[in-house]
Amino acid sequence: GAVVSQHPSWVICKSGTSVKIECRSLDFQATTMFWYRQFPKQSLMLMATSNEGSKATYEQGVEKDKFLINHASLTLSTLTVTSAHPEDSSFYICSAPSPILSSYEQYFGPGTRLTVT
């Protein structure tokens, strides 16, 4: 089946620094990828849609200047949390839609645990 990887799996950074998270589709191409954020005991919250070759689409309330998204190729999207603060600590998960056009399934990465101290 289709596999999506994320790197790093966890990261600890100091307040004010920036952190980059990578999301890769390993055996298929993805012109679109999705970035989610998940707080403890809560559901997935869609942050933005990453589009290869064009600007990302952000959900309402998500600061585009703080969460920079770059979809550099058909297999790689990156999320950079700029000037991170403790309230940005969360579990970040990316996903890519199934390459099968008639399917609405998504393949999720394993997630990245971000802790800002």
Partner 1 sequence: GQQLNQSPQSMFIQEGEDVSMNCTSSSIFNTWLWYKQDPGEGPVLLIALYKAGELTSNGRLTAQFGITRKDSFLNISASIPSDVGIYFCAGPDSGGFKTIFGAGTRLFVKA
Supply the DSSP string of the chain, one letter for each residue: ---EEEE-SEEEE-TT--EEEEEEESSS--SEEEEEEE-TT---EEEEEEETTS--EEPTT--TTTEEEEEEETTEEEEEE-S--GGG-EEEEEEEE-SSTT---EEE---EEEEE-
8 lines the binding site for partner 1 (CB under 8 A): no
Selected from 53, 65, 87, 104, the binder of partner 1 by CB under 8 A is 104
111 lines the binding site for partner 1 (CB under 8 A): yes
* Range 13-72, binding partner 1 (CB under 8 A): 34, 41-44, 46, 49
CB of 102 to partner 1, least distance (A): 8
- Closest to partner 1 by CB, 57 vs 70, is 57
Query: Where does this chain bind partner 1 (CB under 8 A)?
Result: 4, 6, 34, 41-44, 46, 49, 91, 93, 95, 103-111, 113
